[in-house]
Amino acid sequence: MNMQTKTWIEVGALNDIPRQGARCVKNGEMTIAIFRTTDDRLFALEDKCPHKNGPLSDGIVHDGCVTCPLHNWVISLETGAAQGADEGVSLTFPVKLVGETVFLGL
């Protein structure tokens, strides 16, 4: 997490987010992608690849990472860090599930 959580905002139901996919939420000018893994873990990253700002929400979720659709960088959902030899970090945000409702920490 890159910032102190000040408030939790409700972003919808767990089932609104496809497994191995993402749903986007706007926060001012920023778009935040909330990802859901096959085992229903949730992660939130700024929807901006650290390489050339590709839309990570359009990427494929696998093994706790998302592969950017533009040039296939692999980004950790937990840390936002590019994997392998690539360098760069996307902003991460906390996410929590209360019952079936997803909350994003801002």
Which spans of this chain sit near ligand FES (rule: CB under 6 A)?
Answer: 49, 51-52, 54, 68, 70-73
Distance CA 13, CA 40 (A): 12
Closer residue to ligand FES, CB minimum distance, 37 or 90: 90
Instruction: Give least dist CB 80 to ligand FES, A.
Output: 13
Instruction: Give least dist CB 61 to ligand FES, A.
Output: 15
Instruction: Give least dist CB 71 to ligand FES, A.
Output: 3
Contacts of 18 (CB under 8 A, 6+ apart): 36
Q: In what order do the strands lie in the sheet with 60-62?
A: 60-62, 65-67, 74-76
Q: Which amino acid is at 106?
A: L
Closer residue to ligand FES, CB minimum distance, 17 or 66: 66
User: What are the φ and ψ backbone dihedral angles of 8, each rounded to 5 degrees?
Assistant: -105, 125
Closer residue to ligand FES, CB minimum distance, 92 or 106: 92
